[in-house]
Structure 1
């Protein structure tokens, strides 16, 4: 049963909807490095992952979580570490927020929000667990490992270009964290991934 996946999805939708209708809540939860001068404000590193800019932003992240989360959660259940899935997601949100926090501490205008760090962590955890699984990107099936390579390359390119309002750094570091996290907590310590890479299912 995907209890953590469904729980995170429902919580995120509920809090995001609350923030859509209450600007005070949005401003209280959003990642706003300029005002995060003391530890009492550091909670924003996590809470910013439960609010979104609009319905499209929310739906895209939650669809990703729904279709990938159950797969990854089941993996941690099978290894006897069910709660590690929850840690993976929540820590992914925080870790993905850190580069923006340090980079924009003196930028009064910078703010960031969204579950992308957590969903990227879960997505790349799945890449580690089953690299040859096919992911549907829009309408095209793509191997998870190929998607991961393209995703990282695009995130680096788009982050350097900086011509949109998307936090591509959060996508990138959330993904890197998810892959490394799963490698550390997988009892085979990388053997699972290497065996599958060496035996592609095409």
Structure 2
């Protein structure tokens, strides 16, 4: 296990716990549209990735990072891993900032953007890898999982529910960064897997059309 991965997991766990014990610190470093745009507190674009709502949120994210991080490390090395992880956190939060720039109250926390980036960088390299869910013994091909993940996230973002506290925009922005990073750095592999990647990206293309062409979310 690479030390970079362990350091990020440990730092995230420590900072999350510290935030739970110190609500003012939690509020100061979480993602918040008003604080970022009005007060230019850009550190929140990164620091929010080290805060989590509760132990379950933290454990789920760190377990996903633990299992899929080594795949990204294998293909891209420690520097590539860092670029994907923090690039995905930042891009995911920037996408949220763009979408909700008129909603100063909008807040979010969690490493899910970065974790999604790592997960989809791994799937981008091995789109047929088997992904398992708890209590389900049958592996789901990565590109099928990816399509379902993107489709659900896009639908949930476009049709938000009152009790849905998931930051789908950050997830999608982070996942897109990880996938695009893989395609740009490994174009030969992307060309070989173009069908799998194309199927997986269909919901993202639809979202891009709705957001940037129709401009229905703003």
Query: Which residue of the other structure, out of 181, 188, 195, is the alignment partner of 2:192?
Result: 195
Q: CA deviation at 1:39?
A: 7.2
Q: Gaps (5+ residues) in structure 1?
A: none
1:66-77 equivalence runs, <5 A: 66-77=66-77
- 1:34 matched residue in structure 2: 34
TM-score by length of 2: 0.82
- 1:155 matched residue in structure 2: 153
Q: 1:75 & 1:39 partners in 2: Cα distance?
A: 39
8 Å CA contact 1:76, 1:85 repeated in 2: yes
Q: Tell me the C-alpha RMSD between the 2 structures.
A: 1.8
- 1:143 matched residue in structure 2: 141
Task: Report the secondary structure of 1:100's partner residue.
Answer: helix
Q: CA deviation at 1:4?
A: 1.8
Q: 1:62 & 1:91 partners in 2: Cα distance?
A: 17
Q: CA deviation at 1:198?
A: 7.1
Q: 2:116 & 2:96 partners in 1: Cα distance?
A: 16
Q: CA deviation at 1:107?
A: 2.5
Q: Which contiguous aligned blocks of 4+ residues in structure 1 show a shift greater than 6 angstroms?
A: none
- 1:46 matched residue in structure 2: 46
- 1:5 matched residue in structure 2: 5
8 Å CA contact 1:68, 1:126 repeated in 2: yes
The verdict on how the C-alpha distance between 1:103 and 1:192 changes in structure 2, with shifts beyond 3 A counting, is closer
- 2:109 matched residue in structure 1: 113
Mean CA deviation greater in 19-28 or 105-114: 105-114
1:63 aligns with 2:71: no
TM-score by length of 1: 0.88
Q: Gaps (5+ residues) in structure 2?
A: 197-218
